[in-house]
Structure 1
C-alpha cells in the first residue's frame, strides 16, 4: 500500500477535532486507501481498538441495506452500543446514502464522534450540507497520482525520469496502475482498465444518477469535450458541431451534460480572466480532463495532441498543489495559466518545443508574458533539455519534467 503522505499530512492535524473530514474526488483516485492509512495511523498513535472504529464502504454489498439516513443511524447506534470514549466513523462513497447529511449533522452535534466521509460527486458539498455544518467541515480533494508520485512509486521500473514521464504522458496516474509491471504497461492492458473506469463513472455517476436516457448523445458530448481539452469551448460550439452530425441535442442539454462531467471530477472547467479589466470572462472557458490516461484510452494516444496533453498535466499539477487556476487574456494575447494561492501568483506558458528566438512559438510565448507588467514570477515550460534559469526579461525557462519534480511551494 503506497502512502500518499501529502494527503495524510493535510488530514492528521484535524484528528479528534470537532469537524467533519471530507475526501472528495473522481472514482478510484485512492480515497479508500487514504482512509485505510488514516485508520492505521489513528490506531497506532492514539491506541484505539477496532471496536471504536466503524467503516462503511457503500461500494461493498455488505452495506446494501443502508439506503437512507434512518438505516445509517440504526447501523451506527447498533455498532457502537456499549462503546465508551471517542467513536470514529468512516463512510466511503457517502453520497450513495439518501439524506446522509441529516445523519452526519446529528452525530456531529455530539462530541463523542470523529467523522470522516468520502464522495465521488462534487454536489455532495452543495447547499444542504454547507448550511447544516457551516464552518464545521474541511474538504480535501484527492487527485490521481501527480508525476512526482508516479515517478517516486515506480522508481525501480524505469531507467530515468524521461522514460517515466513518457509512460505517464501515455497512461496517466490512476493509482491502480502501480500494480502493473513495466512489461504490463501496454495499451491493450492499461487502456482496457481505463476504459472500464470511464464506463463505470459515466454509468454510475452520470447515467444512473441523472437518469440520462440518450446515452449515445451523452457519449458524443463527452468525447467531443475530451478531444477539445485546452481549447476555448462553449455549449453553443458543441451544439453546433453535433447538429452538423444530424444531432438534435439542445444547448440546454449540452450544458447539463457538461455540469454532470464536472460533478464527477472527470473534467474541470478553467475560466478565462481579463488581466487588464481584472474580471472573469463569461464565455469561452477551457476544459481539462482529470487524468490524461483516460483521454488516451478513449481517443487513442496521438502525438498531434502533445501540446494540449502537456497543458493538461500542468493544469492538474497546479490544482494538486493547491492553486486556483485560470486562463489569462491580455490585449488578445493568451497566458496559458494564472495560478494563485493566498498572496502568491505565478504565470505559466506551456509548450512542447519553444524553439529558437526566430520561431513563431518563441515569439508568441514571450509576447504574452511580456505583456504583463507586474512582478510576479513568469515561467515558460517546455520539454527541451536542462534549461532551468532566467531567460529574456527575467522570464524563467524550465524543463517540464524538472518543474513537475520540483518541490511544491
Structure 2
C-alpha cells in the first residue's frame, strides 16, 4: 500500500467536506445509474471542487460514507503518475474493504499523464465504480475529451457564479415576479458589483476590494504558472504575460497586428507562437476568441477575433484601458452568460456598424450598450441591429442596456439584470 495515498484517503474520510453554499445545478442531469464518466471542466477557482462536494452531499444521503472518496491531484504529497491511479482502488479496498459501489471524485486529474487510459479501463471493467473527474483544462470538455473516452463521458462546463447565484451568495432574495420597488436600488448596486468584480466565489464572498484585487491577481499568476507555463512547457513566461496584457487591453485581436506590436516591444515572436498562446488560453478556460459570423471560412480567418475573458474581474484589475469602461465589462458579462447557457456565439460587422453577438442557432442578434439615454447612441445601436437583421434575414434582435426597458421598431430593449435573471 502506498503510504502517501493511504494518508490522503484516510484524511478525507476523517475531515469530509466543508460547509458550502450550493450552486444552481440540476442534480437530475447527473446520470447516476448509467455507466458514464462525469467530468467537470472550467477555469481555476470557478467552483468545480465545491460542485463535486455538492454531489458528494447528495450521494451521502443514500450511499455509505466509506464508499465515497475525493482526491485532489494538486496535493503535493501525491505522485502525479498513472501508478498512483492504478493503486487507488486496491488501496481503498485494503483500507475500507470492498464496497457494493465505489464513488471516486478525482480533482484536477489532467495533472496525471495518460489519465484517460486508466479512466477508460476502470469504466469498462469495473461496473461497481463510478468516476467523477474535474480539471482546469478543456481536455475534459465534451469538445476535446480524449478519443478513448468518447461516448463514455458526460461533461459539465463550470463557469464563475451566474448573477442569480451571486445574489444567493449575497443573501439577496429575488422577488418572485422580478417586479422591483424598494429592492431595485439594492439590486442595481449588487449588479454593478457583479459586473465590476465578477463571479469567482471566493472573490464574491470577500467585501474588501483590496483583497478582491489580490485574489484575482493570484488566480492570474497561478493560471499562467500552472495551466500554461508548466503544462505547455513555455520557455518565456514574460513574453506570454505581455501577450495576455495586450489581449486584455484590446477589443479586437488580429495575430498580424499582435505580432507587430510584440516585436515593437522587443519580443521576437511568430504568428504561429501567438496562435498557440491563444489556443492555450482557451484550453484553460481563461480567454475565448470569437470569430466574425460568415458562411465563408476565409472571411472568418481573415477578420480579427474579439476576445472575452472568463471573468470580468480580470479586465477590472489587470487591464489599463478597460478598468473603467463599464460598457466593455457589461459585454464581457453577457458573453460569459451566453457561454454558460451553451450558446454558439459570433459577432457581426459591416461598413460603420457592428453587432456584439450573433447566435446562429437561434438566429438572434444581441447588442450591448451601457447608456442609451442619448438619442444618438440609441439610434446608432438600433441602426446596427436593423442592418444585421436585413443582412441575415433574421427577426430576433435584442439591445441589452443597464436599466432601460421598452420596445422600439420591433427590437426588444432589456435591462442587464433582466437578461441575466430571465434570458431574452
TM-score bracket, shorter-length normalisation: 0.7 to 0.9
Q: Write the distance in 1 (CA, Å) between the matches of 2:255 and 2:246.
A: 11
User: Matched residues in 2 for 1:106 and 1:152: separation?
Assistant: 40
Q: Which residue of 2 aligns with 1:192?
A: 214
1:244-288 CA-to-partner distances (Å, cap 9, x unmatched) read 22322222221121111111111011111127x699712311110
Q: Does residue 313 in structure 1 map to residue 312 in structure 2?
A: no
**Residue pair 2:369, 2:401 contacting (<8 A) in 1 also:** yes
| Residue matched to 2:370 | 352
TM-score (norm 2): 0.85
Specify which of 167, 174, 186 is matched with residue 193 of structure 2: 167
Instruction: Write the distance in 1 (CA, Å) between the matches of 2:224 and 2:349.
Output: 33
Q: What is the alpha-carbon root mean square deviation over aligned residues? A: 2.5
Unaligned runs of 5+ in 2: 1-19, 174-182
Q: Which residue is 1:119 aligned to?
A: 135
Q: How does 1:214-363 map to 2 (within 5 A)?
A: 214-228=236-250, 231-274=251-294, 281-283=300-302, 284-299=304-319, 304-329=324-349, 333-340=353-360, 344-357=362-375, 359=376, 361-363=377-379
- 1:58-100: CA deviation from partner (whole Å, max 9, x where unpaired): 12234x13x2223201122221354132211110000011111
Contact 1:325/1:337 (8 A) holds in 2? yes
How far apart are the structure 2 equivalents of 1:127 and 1:405?
Answer: 27
Q: Choose from 40, 44, 47 the match for 1:30.
A: 47
- The alpha carbon displacement at 1:295 in A equals 2.0
Count of aligned pairs between the two proteins: 388
Instruction: Tell me, in whole angstroms, the C-alpha distance in 1 between the residues paired with 2:267 and 2:294.
Output: 34
Identify which of 231, 242, 248 aligns with 1:209: 231
Measure how far apart 1:136 and its partner are: 1.6
Give the deviation of 1:128 after TM superposition. Answer: 8.8
In structure 2, distance between residues paired with 1:298 and 1:281: 29
Q: Within 2, Cα distance between the matches of 1:55 and 1:112?
A: 17
Q: Does 1:391 align with 2:408?
A: yes
Structure 1, unpaired ranges of 5+: none
Contact 2:363 2:394 in 1 (8 A): no
Instruction: For residue 242 of structure 1, report the CA deviation from its aligned partner.
Output: 1.5
Distance in 2, matches of 1:332 and 1:198, equals 35
In structure 1, the residue corresponding to 2:292 is in which secondary structure?
strand
Q: TM-score, normalised by structure 1?
A: 0.88
- Other-structure match for 1:382: 401
Q: Which runs of 4+ in 1 moved over 4 A?
A: 124-129, 156-159, 277-280, 300-304
1:177/1:304 Cα in 2 relative to 1: closer, same or farther (>3 Å)? Answer: closer
CA contact (8 A) 2:136 2:285 kept: yes
Greater mean deviation of Cα atoms: 206-215 or 285-294: 206-215
